[in-house]
Amino acid sequence: MNTMPPVLKPGATAPLRRPSAKRRLHLELRDGAAVIVFDRPDKSVNVIDTAFLDELETALRAVSRYEVKGLVFLSAKPSVFLAGADLESLGRLHGEALEHVVTRGQNVFAKIASLGVPTIAAIHGACLGGGLELALACDRRIASDEAATKLGLPETQLGLLPAWGGSTRLPRLIGLPKALDLIVNGKQVTAKHARRLGLVDEVVPKERLKARALALLDEPAPKRKSFFLTKNPASAAVIRFLTIRQLLAKTRGNYPAPLAALEVAGRGTWVTGGNLDRSFAREREAFVRLAETDAARNLLRLFFLQEKAKHDRHDPSVDVKSLPRIERTAVIGAGVMGAGIAQMIASRDFPVVLADLDPGPVAAGMKSVAALFDEGVKRRVFTKHEAGRKLDLVSPTADRVPLHRCDLVIEAAVEDLEVKKKIFADLCARTSPDTILATNTSALSVTELAKAEGITQPQRVIGLHFFNPVSRMKLVEIVTTEFTAPEVVERALAFVRSLGKTPVVVKDSPGFLVNRILMPYLIEAGRMAESGVPVATIDEAMLDFGMPMGPLRLLDEIGLDVANHVADTMVSAFGDRFEPPLLLADLVRAGHLGKKSGRGFYLHDRGKAVPDTFAKAPRDLPDKTAIANRLNELMAGESRRCLDEGIVRDAAMIDLAMILGTGYAPFRGGPLHGTTPNEPHL
């Protein structure tokens, strides 16, 4: 990048470097202060790439040549300060080239830190990864109090670590334990939370951000806390030990990045003392090493797959611009799923009717919706005021209210084909011909529904399969039949994306995609338990593999009656490989339905689950690696069949769906990504 240094006229107040079609930032001089404004052209986000670093260096050089009282960083974007490194370009680099970019970022940020005049990051919007590392190189940070403002270092979630100075500067600013919590867990915090942590100095209304930052340049530098305790080798060793223990319990050693970040951040604080350069060198070395690991490659691929799922069209020939946006919605059935879906829709500011048969279930549904909003307030997803306003968008009803103005109706009533057929026929009469009619069924045939009597336009029938709990599960399977109109698919895709969920389009077929791939795995785990392999060994094997929950524990959560019923349906569709073990039917007959009845593969009592025993352990007990291999092979095999049958268009979408829908070990890349289980690290 060969940008000429901006020519600054001392005392000038007009913008010296106007926004241009090519530049990622521009420099203004105002009241004796310099302001660098991030504003990447033609994009809604600002990210850091080599061109950005070049321009920033040029601008810093210009600032240092003139007598300004200080420098403020701002963004011109409505909801992003700086979203971090440009992963697309970073993902292509290896070895020396990668090290070069890391060094370059460190050096440019070091120039901010040593500019010689006060520097302030005035943050509104996402300030993540490299963006926060830039802000950390400033003397002060102030942030807007808007929900869009989020600060965090998510690098470890991508198998990497903050290496543009973040792992070194953050512990020095807020102390090691709080810094580790942010770095190791990849947490994002609101402006107010960041203020409490000491990460930002002030929280101000967005409108006052720039004026306050400029005013702060005239105030004396704030006194920073010194963290003697965490610089003390003995207490630092305790913090390190506790964090490693907690990390290993959580990740079972499958994720090298958080451990490396802990090492770098920790040593930067307690061993080298004031030596920043040695700590930066460790950041660089660890980053380049981590970037070459399978975990980082797979996590980065997952990130790109999610991005792709955010934009890909199902049928590029459809003119999406001409399609009406889905804005008015209704949900039929106010049970677990209906309430969850209605809350999700309202949380994204769309009005939604929540209907059920009687006032009782409607009231129960609204209680769940309100509880979900309360939980969101506790988790700081929304303020109390926002939650109240969004809750008002849900209109509960037990009456046959008019639905003809709805763009979309989602049916989430009981799992009974006859009930659903009646609901759909009724909806056809009560809605406009353009209203999309969706079912949230987990196992029934969407095609049967579309063909049912009274369905006047089968082309507007589709499956929208949300996962439980709706507020947390990112995946939605969009189930299409041979009748579904391409415009309906595109509108559904856009709607699911507007809810912040990741859609995967699947062809209607028993179990759709995720449940179909999961079933042989669950069934085989049940068979193993039936043959005497201890329940704990089976579940531990898959936890070591990287699953969030063992298969038998998952069966207990799903309900053994539900699982047995689904397996029976799958046997009728696909044959013996879905045949459930006799043990499953025996347990159901005995009333042991899993968690909901207090007993299944585990004995559930006051939040504790103790594994039950079903047969004498066989002599040739398989080891955990063999168990994990076997169970994973079954998922991979079923995934391949789904691909061959055209249930989805490409293998990568299966990987994505399984990771988002079941928590399939993300660092492995997915069941079709070809990683075989390694020896479990304990």
- Minimum CB separation from ligand NAI for residue 505, in Å? 17
Query: Is residue 333 within the footprint of ligand NAI (CB under 6 A)?
Result: yes
CB nearer ligand NAI, residue 464 or residue 652:
464
In the chain, count H helices and then E strands: 26, 20
Nearer to ligand NAI, 435 or 440 (CB): 440
| Interface region with ligand NAI, contact rule CB under 6 A, candidates 241-249, 276-284, 350-358, 580-588 | 350-358
Least distance in Å: CB of 398 to ligand NAI? 9
Q: What are 594's strand-pairing partners?
A: 599
- Could you give the count of Cα atoms lying within 13 Å of 649 in the half-sphere of its Cβ? 10
Sign of the dihedral defined by the CA atoms of residues 339, 345, 349, 350, in that order: negative
Q: Is 357 in the site for ligand NAI (CB under 6 A)?
A: yes
Q: Does 414 bind ligand NAI (CB under 6 A)?
A: yes
- DSSP letter string, 330-353: EEE--SHHHHHHHHHHHHTT--EE
In single-letter form, the type of residue at position 133 comes to: E
**Strand residue runs (E) in 16-98:** 25-30, 33-38, 71-75, 80-82
Give the DSSP H/E element, type plus range, for residue 426: helix 417-430
Angstrom distance (rounded) from CA 563 to CA 372: 27
Rounded-to-integer distance, Cα 33 and Cα 340, Å:
50
The residue within the footprint of ligand NAI, chosen from 181, 285, 294, 415 (CB under 6 A), is 415
Residue 441 engages ligand NAI in binding (rule: CB under 6 A): yes
> Contact region for ligand NAI (CB under 6 A) — 69-77, 232-240, 264-272, 335-343?
335-343
Q: Binding to ligand NAI by residue 413, rule CB under 6 A?
A: yes
Q: How far is CA 289 from CA 17, 42, 161, 215, 281, in A?
A: 39, 34, 10, 43, 12
Q: Which of 114, 275, 432, 468 binds ligand NAI (CB under 6 A)?
A: 468
Q: Is 84 in the site for ligand NAI (CB under 6 A)?
A: no
Our finding on whether 435 is near ligand NAI (CB under 6 A) is no
The answer to whether 186 touches 157, Cβ cutoff 8 Å, is yes
* Beta carbon nearer to ligand NAI, 154 or 463: 463
Q: Would you count residue 356 as binding ligand NAI (CB under 6 A)?
A: yes
Binding footprint of ligand NAI, residue count (CB under 6 A): 21
Q: Which string of b and e fits 470-487 if b means at least 16 CB within 10 Å? A: bbebebbbbbbbebbbeb
Stretch that binds ligand NAI, among 3-11, 356-364, 452-460, 588-596 (CB under 6 A): 356-364
Residue 666 interacts with ligand NAI (CB under 6 A)? no
Question: Of 46, 251, 440, 484, which lies in the binding site for ligand NAI, with binding defined by CB under 6 A?
Answer: 440
CB of residue 661 vs ligand NAI: minimum separation in angstroms? 10
Site string for ligand NAI, 271-310 (x = CB under 6 A): ----------------------------------------
Give whichever of 49 and 477 is closer to ligand NAI, judged by the CB atom: 477
Q: Which residue number has the CB closest to ligand NAI?
A: 335
User: Could you tell me the sign of the dihedral formed by the alpha carbons of 238, 243, 248, 253, in that order?
Assistant: negative
Concatenated DSSP letters of 80-140: EEE--B-HHHHHT--HHHHHHHHHHHHHHHHHHHTSSS-EEEEE-SEEETHHHHHHHTSSE
Does 361 sit near ligand NAI (CB under 6 A)?
Answer: yes
Catalogue the E-assigned strands of 119-265.
119-123, 126-128, 140-144, 150-152, 188-190, 202-204
Residue 355 vs 523, nearer CB to ligand NAI: 355
Beta bridge partners of 437: 409, 461
Examine residue 336 and tell whether it contacts ligand NAI (CB under 6 A): yes
Quick one: 23 or 604, whose CB is closer to ligand NAI? 604
> Contact between 473 and ligand NAI (CB under 6 A)?
no
Task: Compute the residue count for the chain.
Answer: 682
Pick 427 or 609: Cβ nearer ligand NAI: 427
- 3-class DSSP state of 677: coil
Instruction: For strands 71-75 and 33-38, give the pairing.
Output: parallel
**Tokens, residue 265:** 């951040």
CB of 412 to ligand NAI, least distance (A): 4
515 touches ligand NAI by CB under 6 A: no
Adjacent-strand bridge partners of 119 = 71
> Which CB, 523 or 554, lies closer to ligand NAI?
554
Q: Is residue 332 a contact residue for ligand NAI (CB under 6 A)?
A: yes
User: Residue 512, class by beta-carbon neighbours within 10 Å (0-12 exposed, 13-18 middle, 19+ buried)?
Assistant: buried
Q: Phi and psi (nearest 5°) for 189? A: -125, 155
List the one residue from 335, 351, 622, 663 that touches ligand NAI (CB under 6 A): 335
Indicate the residue among 334 and 403 with the shorter CB distance to ligand NAI: 334
220 touches 69 (CB < 8 A):
no
Catalytic residues, by residue number, are 465
Residue 338 sits in the site that holds ligand NAI (CB under 6 A): yes
Q: Does 423 bind ligand NAI (CB under 6 A)?
A: yes
Contact status: 249 vs ligand NAI (CB under 6 A): no
3-class secondary-structure state, position 170: helix
Given 1, 215, 320, 419, the residue binding ligand NAI (CB under 6 A):
419
Q: Is 334 in the site for ligand NAI (CB under 6 A)?
A: yes
Q: Which residues bind ligand NAI (CB under 6 A)?
A: 332-338, 355-357, 361, 412-415, 419, 423, 440-442, 468
